[in-house]
């Protein structure tokens, strides 16, 4: 989990605010998806939807 947190923080440090906030929210939602037990049945589909969102914001952070 530590390398993922480092990647997220480095991407946020080099992104604008319009990209940083949604990117952080998506990553927090991914973490909650795996931590909170009632979401267990939604984990697979939800993870893939959030992963697509995460990739979208990572691509936007590279466009400057």
Q: Is the full-model pTM beyond 0.85?
A: no
For residue 60, give Cα distances in angstroms to 15, 28, 33, 37.
9, 18, 24, 32
**Residue 26's pLDDT is what?**
93
> Would you state the structure tokens that stand for residue 63, as one six-digit string?
């466009």
Give pLDDT tens digits along the chain (64 positions).
788 889 888 888 888 888 899 999 999 998 888 788 776 777 788 888 999 999 999 888 887 6
Tokens of 14: 């080099």
- For residue 53, what are the CA distances in angstroms to 8, 35, 46, 60? 14, 19, 11, 11
Query: Distance between CA 30 and CA 48 in Å, rounded?
Result: 10
């Amino acid at each position: 989990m530590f390398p993922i947190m480092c990647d997220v923080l480095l991407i946020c440090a080099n992104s604008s605010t319009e990209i940083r906030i949604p990117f952080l929210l998506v990553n927090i939602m991914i973490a909650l998806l795996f931590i909170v037990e009632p979401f267990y049945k939604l984990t697979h589909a939800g993870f893939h939807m959030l992963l697509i969102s995460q990739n979208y914001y990572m691509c936007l952070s590279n466009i400057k």
